[in-house]
Chain A
Amino acid sequence: MAILTKDEAKTIIDKVLGYSKADETSVSVNGGRTGNIRYARNSVSTSGETNNLSVAVTAVYGKRSGTATINELDDASLEKTVRRAEEIARLAPENPEYMTMLGPQKYLDTNTYAESTAKIDPNFRAQAAFDSIDPCRKKNLTAAGYMEDTTGFVAIGNSKGLFGYNRATSVDFSITVRTADGLGSGYANPDVNDVSKLNTKATTEIAMQKALASASARALEPGKYTVILEPTASVELLQNMMRSMDGRSADEGRSFLSKKGGGTRLGEKLFDERVTIITDPLNADLPLPAFGGGGGGRFGGGGGEGVPQEKMTWIENGVVKNMFFSRFWAQKKGVAPVPAPAGFILQGGTQSLADMIKSTDKGILVTRFWYIRAVDPQTQLYTGLTRDGTFYIENGQIKFPVKNFRFNESPVIMLNNVEALGKPVRAGGNLIPPMKIRDFTFTSLSDAV
C-alpha cells in the first residue's frame, strides 16, 4: 500500500530539496489506496481497487514558478523531476500575485485516520454489499448502492523549512432502495471515516423503510412550506454557501457578501441569531486536516501553501465574522490569511429528528435534495429537487408521502427563516443539524420517483 510514514515522507522531501537550485522549492508527496464496490438490481455491477503515489515539485525563480510530478521514488527520477520543475519555472510567465513560501508552521495534532478503514479488503467490500443486498432481496425490494474507501496521506515541505504530514481515511457508503413497482424509493448516506462505525445492513434498513413508506405519494400544490430538512438534504446548499465566503470576491463586488456602494458585509447580521457556523479541526466527531492545500501545488503556480487550519468562527449568532482570504489578498487588505474551510459545524440544539417531527403542526420532511445548481450567485439562489423520501407531517406525525418538488431557494434566506435546529450529525464531511425552516419555496411538482 502506498502509505508512507511521516519519516519516510520527510526523507523524500529532504532529498528533493537537496537537489534543488531554485530560489524557492516546495514538495508534496501524496499517496493512497482507493477501493470500491458498486451494485444495482440486487447484483454487483463493478468493483475495483487502485493505488497511487505521487511527488510534486514546485520550483520558483523570482515570481516564476514551475511544477513537475513523478510517481517513481528512485534518486534519479526525483532529481529529474526537480530539473524539470526548474526548467518549466524559467519558461513560465511572471505571476504578479506570487507570494514567497511560508516558513515553518505550527500545526494542530488532528486525528483523521482510522486503522479499521485502512484494513478494508475486497472481501470486506463484498460482504458489505451482501449485507445491503440480502435484506432487500428477501423483501422483494431492489438495492442500488456504492461503497468507496480511501486511505491516503499527504506530506508537504519547502526550502524555507516548512513541513507537514497528514494521513486520513474515508468511507463513502450510499444506498437507494426501490420498490418492485417503481413507486417507492428511499435513500441513506451515513458519513464516517472509521468503518467500524458503519453498518451497511442497518443503513439499508433505513432506506428500505423510506422506500416502502414513500410508495403511494400524493400531490401537494407547490408553494411556500415549513420543511424539516434532514442533514443529508441541506448539506450541499450549505456547502455551496460556505464555498462562496471568499473575501476577495466580496471585495471585488461579485459575491453575496459584497456591500452596496463598495466594501463587504463583514460584521453584518445576515442570518437568524441562532445560526453559528464554525470550523474546528480538533472536534472529535469531525477531525479535519491540520493544514490547507498541498505544498507543491498540484496545479502549479503556488497551489496550496500549507497555511494552518485552526478553529475559526465564520458566522456567530447570525453575524458574518470571517471570510477566507488567500495569502495574496490578505496581504493586500492587511489581514491575516485564512484558508477555506475543509469541513464546518453548524451548531444546533439537542433535539433529534424525531423530536423535531413531533413538534411540527404542518410541514414537509425532506430526505435528500438532488441536482442542485446555482441560479443567481448574487443572492445565492439555487434550484433542485427533493428525492427518495418526501413526506407530509401533520400534528407531529408523518401522515403520507408526497410527490417530489422542485425548489428555488437561497441558503441565506433559508437561514433567516429558521424555526428550530436539532442535534448536528455528520453529513458530507460536515456536522449539520436537522433544520426546521419556514416558508421554503417549492416552485413546481415532479412525477419522478
Chain B
Amino acid sequence: MNRRDFNQLLGMGAAGIMMPALPAFSRTIAPEALLEPGLDVAVKKRLADAALNAAKAKGATYADVRIGRYLNQFVLTRENKVQGIINSESFGVGVRVIANGCWGFASVGDARDESVVAKAAETAVAIAKANARLLTEPVQLAPQKGFGEVSWKAPIKKNAFEVPIKEKVDLLLSCNAAAMQNGANFVNNVLFQVNEQKYFASTDGTYADQDIHRIGPSFTVTAVDPQNGRFATRNSLSAPMGMGYEYLQVNPSDKLSGITTRYNKGYDMLEDITAAAKQAKEKLSAKSVEAGKYDLVLDPSHLWLTIHESVGHPLELDRVLGYEANYAGTSFVTLDKWKTKSFNYGSKEVNLVADKTQVGSLGAVGWDDEGVKTKKWDLVKDGILVNYQAIRDQVHILGEKESQGCCYADNWSSVQFQRMANVSLEAGKTPLSVANMIKDVKKGVYIIGDGSFSIDQQRYNFQFGGQLFYEIKNGEIVGMLKDVSYQANTKEFWNSCAAVCDESDYRLGGAFNDGKGQPSQSSAVSHGSATARFNGVNVINTARKIG
C-alpha cells in the first residue's frame, strides 16, 4: 500500500484536483512567515558540529548533517475562483553516518537544540550498526576535500515570495478569464514557488549554506463539445525554472515565434493560455493521425521529457548497479557497454551532457548533499557513451577519484541518494533554424509540449504523446493532428537523430517531481535542447471507442 492509499485508510485523503503534495512534516504558515530569516548560520554550524561530534563519539567513520528549511507556496485557481493559497514550512535536521562499514540515517523535526540533534546522530549510528550484519561489502566513500565555510545562492532577480499574493491571484485570474473568452470551457491554474534553505556539514570539513529558489507556473484548459461528447485539453508550454518571479515578467527576446509561440528564459502566461484555449478547441476537430513511420521534429518543450526518461534515468549508476531494481528498475546501459568505449548511444549529432551548474536550471546548486562541488561533464560524446552519473560511494566502480556531485534528498527528513543532474542535448554546431529543419521533412509530425509518457524498467521501449501535433508534408506544416503517440527503442531513437537546431533555439524544460527511491522522493531537474529531428519513428493512433 503506498502512502496515498494509507492516507485514504486513515481518512486523510485530500479532496480536489491539482493539489500538490507537501513535503514531509510541513506545516501551513502565514505568507509573511515565508520571508522570515531562518536560523543564523552560526547557530546552524553549532547544531551541525553537535551532530558530527556525537556521531564520531559513537564510532562513525564518516558523518554528514543537513539542516533544512523548506518553504513552499501554491496559488491555485479555477475559472473565476481561487481554490486555495497554501504557504508551508518544513524545518528539521537529517544525519547520515557510516559505522561498521554501513550507512545509517536518522532525522528529527523542528530541532533547534544541540542535544536533540546529537541524539539523532546517535540513532543513525545505532541503525548503521544494527544493519551491518546484513552487509555484503563495506561502503567505499570517495575522498572529498573540505571546503570550509562556503555559501551559494541561486542568481534570482526577484524573490517570488516577496510578490504580494494579490498580484499573483490577479495574474492567474486574468489568465483564466482570457482562456474562457477564447473558447475554453474550464481552466485550472497553479503557481508553485519553492525556497530550499539548506545547510550541509560533514566530517570532511565542509560547511555549505545554500539558498535555492524555483518557480513553476502551469495550467490546463479544457474545451468541450457537448454535441458529440468530445473534450480536449491543452497544458501550458511553460517550464518550471530555477528562477525568481522575473520568469513571469517576460521580455520580447524570451519568445520564439512560429506555429505557436514558445518561451525561453521568460514565460508569458497570458499569451500562452489565450493560444491554448483556441488550440484546445481546434484539437476537437483536428485530423486523427494515420499510424505509420514519420520523421519527427521535436520542440524542446517536448524533447526534454524524452531526454529525461531515455537518457537521464538509464545513465544513473545506481540503477545500472541494481539499487532501484524493486522500484524504478535497472538500466540497459550496463557497465560492459561503457567499457567498450564504442557503444553507439546515438548518431554523431548526439552530444549529451550532465550539468549541475547550469544557470536558471532546476537542479543547479553549489554543492550537492554530500559536500561535492558541482560541475558539468559529458555523458554521450558524438554519439558514443562516455560516462554515467554517480555519487561518492559509487565512483570507484568507474575508476574515478571524485564524485560527480549528484547526491540529493528532497527534504531534511529523507536520506540523500543518487539523483539525476540536469541532463541536456547540446545544440547543433552548424546554423539551423526550426523553419529550415521543417523545410527538409517530406512526411513528418512536429510535436510541441509534453504529454503522456511511459518507458520500461530498463529504459528501452518508450511511448510519448505531446500537447500540439502538426502534420508536415513536403516541407510545410499542413494542419493539426490528434491521437498521436510515438513508440521507439531508446538506442534506435537516438541513432535516428538526423539534426539538431543551433544555440539560438536552445531552451530548458523540466519537472519538479521526478520520483525515485523507496520511500519515494521527488527531485527537480531541467533538461535543455534545441529542436531536433528524428527520422523514421513509429507513430501510433491512440483513438479508441468505449461503447
Contacts and interface: CB of A to CB of B under 8 A. Distances in A.
A254 B11 contact: no
A292 interface: yes
A370 B457 contact: yes
A214 interface: no
A200 interface: no
Nearest to B491: A447
B342 to A, nearest CB: 20
A185 B322 CA distance: 12
B429 interface: no
Contacts of B226: 253, 261-262
Contacts of A425: none
Report which residue of B84, B169, B546 has the largest number of chain A beta carbons within 10 angstroms of its beta carbon. B546
Nearest to A85: B28
B438 to A, nearest CB: 26
Report which residue of B86, B105, B131 has the largest number of chain A beta carbons within 10 angstroms of its beta carbon. B131
A375 B485 contact: yes
B83 A304 contact: no
Interface string B1-32: 11001101111111110010010110111100
A309 B329 CA distance: 37
B185 interface: yes
Contacts of A130: 133-134
Range of interface residues on B (Cβ < 8 Å): 35 or more
B90 to A, nearest CB: 11
Interface stretch (A15-23, A143-151, A350-358, A391-399): A143-151
A72 to B, nearest CB: 8
B518 A142 contact: no
Contact of B28 (A67, A176, A342): A67
A348 interface: no
Interface string A388-423: 000000000000000010101010110010000000
Contact of A144 (B16, B30, B326, B485): B326
Contacts of A377: 231, 233
B28 A68 contact: yes
Given A301-B84, A302-B15, A385-B457, A253 B130 contact: no
A45 B103 contact: yes
B106 A48 contact: yes
Report which residue of B105, B326, B455 has the largest number of chain A beta carbons within 10 angstroms of its beta carbon. B326
B131 A292 contact: no
A116 interface: no
Contacts of B15: 293, 297, 302-305, 326
Contact of B230 (A97, A172, A378, A447): A378
Interface string B208-226: 0000000000000010101
Contact of B11 (A166, A252, A270, A373): A166
A437 interface: no
Contacts of A270: 546-547
Contacts of A122: 127, 130
A56 B13 contact: no
A164 B28 CA distance: 23
A380 B546 contact: yes
Interface string B436-457: 0000000000000000111111
Contact of B544 (A42, A46, A254, A379): A379
A288 B11 CA distance: 9
A167 B518 CA distance: 24
Contacts of A253: 185, 224, 226, 229, 231
Contacts of B518: 36, 38, 146, 148
Interface in A116-154: 122-123, 126, 129-130, 133, 142, 144-146, 148, 150, 152-154
Interface stretch (B57-65, B359-367, B460-468): B460-468
A304 B14 contact: yes
Given A406-B461, A416-B547, A144 B519 contact: no
A259 B227 CA distance: 9
Given A168-B6, A291-B11, A300 B86 contact: yes
B227 A261 contact: yes
Contact of B109 (A52, A95, A170): A52
Contacts of B546: 256, 270, 379-380, 410, 412-413
Interface stretch (A6-14, A86-94, A225-233, A359-367): A86-94
Nearest to B545: A379
A46 B417 contact: yes
Contacts of B547: 270, 412, 416
A12 B465 CA distance: 50
Interface string B71-89: 0000000000111111000
B9 A288 contact: yes
Nearest to A37: B131
B5 A428 contact: yes
Contacts of A304: 11-15
Contacts of A252: 185-186, 224
Contact of A92 (B85, B104, B110, B456): B85
A44 B322 contact: no
B297 interface: no
Nearest to A385: B456
B454 A373 contact: yes
B134 A50 contact: no
A374 B542 CA distance: 11
B6 A150 contact: yes
Contact of A46 (B105, B185, B231): B105
A448 B458 contact: yes
Contacts of B460: 446-448
A45 B134 CA distance: 10
A97 B81 contact: yes
B352 interface: no
Contacts of B84: 299-301
Given A44-B102, A46-B105, A375-B452, A292 B11 contact: yes
Contacts of A266: none
Report which residue of B28, B104, B227, B415 has the largest number of chain A beta carbons within 10 angstroms of its beta carbon. B28
A54 B12 CA distance: 12
Nearest to B485: A375
A340 B11 CA distance: 11
A191 interface: yes
B99 to A, nearest CB: 13
A431 interface: no
A433 interface: no
B239 to A, nearest CB: 20
Given A254-B224, A383-B452, A406-B463, A154 B12 contact: yes
B327 interface: yes
A150 B1 CA distance: 10
A185 to B, nearest CB: 8
Contacts of B485: 375, 383
A75 interface: no
Nearest to A309: B11
Contacts of A334: none
A343 B9 contact: yes
Contacts of A260: 227-229
Contacts of A176: 325-326
A298 B16 CA distance: 12
Given A50-B107, A374-B452, A378-B230, A144 B325 contact: yes
Given A37-B131, A95-B83, A154-B10, 12 more contacts: A54-B25, A71-B27, A150-B6, A258-B229, A293-B13, A301-B83, A370-B456, A406-B463, A416-B547, A443-B463, A446-B456, A446-B458
Q: Across chains A and B, which 6 residue pairs bring their CB atoms closest together, nearest first?
A: A260-B229, A446-B461, A448-B458, A144-B325, A289-B11, A144-B326
12 contacts: A122-B130, A126-B133, A144-B324, A152-B10, A153-B10, A253-B229, A270-B546, A343-B9, A371-B456, A383-B485, A408-B542, A448-B332
Interface of B: 1-2, 5-6, 8-16, 19, 22, 24-25, 27-30, 81-86, 102-107, 109-110, 127, 130-131, 133-137, 169, 185-186, 222, 224, 226-231, 233, 321-327, 329-330, 332, 334, 413, 415, 417, 452-461, 463, 465, 483, 485, 487, 489, 518-519, 538, 540, 542-547
